[in-house]
Each structure stands twice: as structure tokens, then as C-alpha cells.
């Protein structure tokens, strides 16, 4: 039904219906040799181990899609990317995703607020190193997110919104909204009258020589009365430095995010889960609220949200559980205003212990969530 309404929505916004994006295809994983340009209706490809277009190899190539995205409604859009290997995504020159490397099939999300009928410049870069070749860019429009709720966030129900391909009707190779013309002068301002030819000033060479015209000097204005000198205030010689942005968990510990070096990790001390569960407990949400405030105040910081478990049980099930824990933390933070591009959830299972799993007293320390600065 929505697809049938696309031309109507475009006409209501005074825009033509979109036809897709411009795709520039290159040989080499970093745009080394240009091969061809074509129009792609949407970014939804699974080439397997075959070349994406004539003249290109099945491996070692890159693609750059550019154009304009015009959302149909105003609200929060969640972009979903599934890729093998590297991906970058910009919207209005804002980098939302940067996962530029060889990797197995991986999925990422980025949320952003968009206005209906407003063209946003879109750029997606993709590179393929070897083996399988796939890239999907889909989204959750605001209307599809109405079925989501806090109950879904905590895993109490399986009813979750599903991302859908971005229709070509919303994608344009050039900006569909014409640049606004300069406004005409208001009616109250009369147009300048044409000066008759005989009344126009002569060029300097044709001006008649005459005595210089004496212009009376303007009368001098009296000097204003001097204002009383302000009372001097004592100024400290050095300004006190502003306190670092910090998250304040329940235990009043301060996690100094900005002071972490790239690659350095810190464990969130008050973030814990029931054994075998990935649902956030009410007692830990205060700690996450403080962390969300810190991340909102430092939008340039990016972190890998790591989920860890102990080594009890099946290793693959532990990895899946740790991934779910990392994702539920990211969902809570993004729901509280943190940009999705700042976070990357990764589950490590029991592969990175910090305590002796053989000791029941120390084993719970391995069931943790950590932040590693990217």
C-alpha cells in the first residue's frame, strides 16, 4: 500500500518520484581504477562470488553510491547495514558508520532524526576483499517502529520491527528540490526610476571644470559625560579547569570516558545480569542513565560495547548470550539519546576472562560488560 502512495507523496511535496542512486564501480578495494557508472535502484545486493558488473573482478573491488534521500515522514529512522566486507555511510556529510575492513558478514545500525520532504545527501562506500560479496542497506521508518516498546527492549515479547529496503522512490541521483530563487523586493519598495539620458552624470573626462565646491563642516557634537569607572574585580590568575565528563554509576564511581586512550577498555562496575539472562535489571538503569548523559555530552567518542561471560556451558551459546547483552545495553543508550554511530556491540563469550573461572568466588567477575574506546 505504501508503495502505491509514493507518487502521491512526492507530488504533495512538490518533488518528482525518485529512481535510485548513482553507483560508481572501481577495481581495487580503495577505488584505485574506475570501471563504470550505473544507476542502482537501491543498495540490496548479494553477488555471492560473482562479479558485480561486466569488467569487474569477483573480488578486490569497491563501489561508491551517491545521491539524495528524501524521507516520506518526519521522525527517527534506524538504518540497518549487513555487509561483507567494508562499509562507510554518510548522511549530509555526517559519518554514521565506519567499518572499513575485511570482515565476515556483519550487521550494524545507526539512528538519525529526519524531516519529511527534506533532501539529505547520501553516500555509501563499499569494499570487497574476498569470498562472499554482499551489502544491504535497509531502514526502519518511524511508522514501523510504533510496534516497538520498552517491553520489546527487555525481551519480554518477540514482536520487533523489521527493517525494509529503501524504495527507489525516495532515492535521487541529484537534489530533487530546486535551489530557492532570490526573493523579489517587497511591493512597498518602489522600483528605481529610469534616469533620462540627458540627466545622467557625464564621465569624468566630460565634466565641466568649475570651482571646487565648499561644503560646510558638520557641527561638532558635545562629548558625552564620562561614565564612572567600573569597580575593579579580582580575577583569578588561572581559570579552574572544567571537570571531565563522567558517568556516575550506583556506587558513585566515576568512569572518565574522555581520558581513555584508543584501544583501552574499562569494565562498567555496576552493570550485571542474572545468570543466563540478557535482560537489564532495574537496579542497573541508573548507571546506564549516567553513562548515556556522558556519551551525549561527548558525541565524538566511539566505543565498542563488549559482552563477556564465564566459561560455564556451551561456548557458542555463551558468545550469543554475550552479544545479546552488549546489544541490549546499546539499545538502552540509543533510546536515551546516544547516537548509534558511537556504539558497536560485540559479544566475546568466555574468551577473555579477567578472573579464574575455576574459582566460584571469582567466576562472576567474568560476567561483565566493558567499553573499549575506538
Mean pLDDT by 10 residues, the chain (374 residues): 47 71 94 94 91 92 95 93 92 90 89 93 93 91 57 46 87 80 52 47 48 48 50 44 36 58 81 74 74 88 90 87 89 88 92 85 83 90
pLDDT at 188: 52
pLDDT at 304: 94
pLDDT at 310: 85
CB atoms within 10 A of CB 275: 12
Instruction: Spell out the residues 6+ positions from residue 327 whose beta carbon is closer than 8 angstroms to its own.
Output: 307, 345
pLDDT at 137: 95
Determine if the pTM surpasses 0.85: no
Does the CA dihedral 228-233-238-242 come out positive or negative?
negative
Q: What is the DSSP string of 26-95?
A: EETTTT-EEEEEEEESSSEEEEETS-SSTTS-SSSEEEEEEEEE--SS-EEEEEEEEEESEEEEEETTEE
CB 336 within 8 A of CB 351: no
CB 247 within 8 A of CB 287: yes
Does the CA dihedral 260-261-262-268 come out positive or negative?
negative
**Measured distance CA(340)–CA(96) in Å, rounded:** 8
Domains of the chain: 2-172 (3.90.182.10), 246-373 (3.30.1330.60)
Residue 151, Cα to own-chain centre: how many angstroms?
26
Instruction: Spell out the residues 6+ positions from residue 252 whose beta carbon is closer than 8 angstroms to its own.
Output: none
pLDDT at 42: 93
Copy the grid coordinates of residue 130. Answer: 574476498
**Beta bridge partners of residue 81, listed in sequence order:** 108, 137
Alpha carbon distance, N-terminus to C-terminus of the chain: 42
Amino acid at each position: 500500500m505504501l508503495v502505491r502512495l509514493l507518487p502521491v507523496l512526492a507530488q504533495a511535496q512538490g518533488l518528482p518520484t525518485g529512481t535510485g542512486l548513482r553507483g560508481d564501480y572501481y577495481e581495487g578495494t580503495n577505488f584505485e581504477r574506475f570501471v563504470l557508472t550505473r544507476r542502482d535502484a537501491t543498495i540490496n545486493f548479494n553477488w555471492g562470488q560473482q562479479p558485480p558488473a561486466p569488467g569487474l573482478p569477483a573480488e578486490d573491488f569497491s563501489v561508491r553510491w551517491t545521491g539524495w534521500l528524501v524521507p516520506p515522514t518526519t521522525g527517527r529512522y534506524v538504518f540497518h547495514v549487513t555487509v561483507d566486507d567494508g562499509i562507510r555511510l554518510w548522511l549530509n556529510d555526517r559519518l554514521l558508520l565506519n567499518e572499513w575492513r575485511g570482515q565476515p558478514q556483519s550487521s550494524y545500525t545507526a539512528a538519525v532524526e529526519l524531516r519529511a520532504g527534506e533532501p539529505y545527501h547520501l553516500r555509501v562506500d563499499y569494499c570487497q576483499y574476498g569470498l562472499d560479496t554482499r551489502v544491504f542497506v535497509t531502514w526502519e521508518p518511524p511508522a514501523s517502529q510504533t510496534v516497538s516498546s520498552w517491553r520489546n527492549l527487555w525481551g519480554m515479547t518477540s514482536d520487533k520491527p523489521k527493517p525494509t529496503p529503501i524504495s527507489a522512490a525516495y532515492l535521487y541521483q541529484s537534489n530533487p528540490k530546486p535551489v530557492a530563487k532570490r526573493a523579489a523586493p517587497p511591493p512597498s519598495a518602489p522600483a528605481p526610476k529610469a534616469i533620462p539620458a540627458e540627466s545622467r552624470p557625464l564621465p569624468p573626462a566630460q565634466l565641466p571644470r568649475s570651482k571646487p565646491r565648499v561644503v560646510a563642516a558638520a557641527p561638532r557634537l558635545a562629548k558625552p559625560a564620562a561614565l564612572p569607572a567600573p569597580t575593579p574585580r579580582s580575577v583569578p590568575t588561572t581559570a579552574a579547569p572544567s571537570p571531565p565528563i563522567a558517568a556516575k554509576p550506583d556506587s558513585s564511581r566515576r568512569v572518565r570516558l574522555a581520558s581513555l586512550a584508543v584501544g583501552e577498555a574499562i569494565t562498567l562496575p555496576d552493570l550485571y545480569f542474572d545468570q543466563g539472562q540478557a535482560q537489564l535489571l532495574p537496579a542497573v538503569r541508573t548507571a546506564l542513565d549516567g553513562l548515556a548523559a556522558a556519551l551525549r555530552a561527548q558525541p565524538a567518542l566511539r566505543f565498542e560495547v563488549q559482552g563477556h561471560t564465564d566459561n560455564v556451558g556451551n561456548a557458542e551459546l555463551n558468545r550469543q548470550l554475550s552479544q545479546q547483552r552488549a546489544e541490549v545495553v546499546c539499545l538502552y543508550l540509543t533510546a536515551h539519546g546516544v547516537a548509534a554511530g558511537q556504539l558497536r556491540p560485540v559479544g566475546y563469550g568466555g574468551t577473555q576472562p579477567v578472573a579464574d573461572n575455576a574459582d566460584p568466588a571469582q567466576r562472576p567477575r567474568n560476567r561483565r560488560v566493558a567499553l573499549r574506546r575506538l
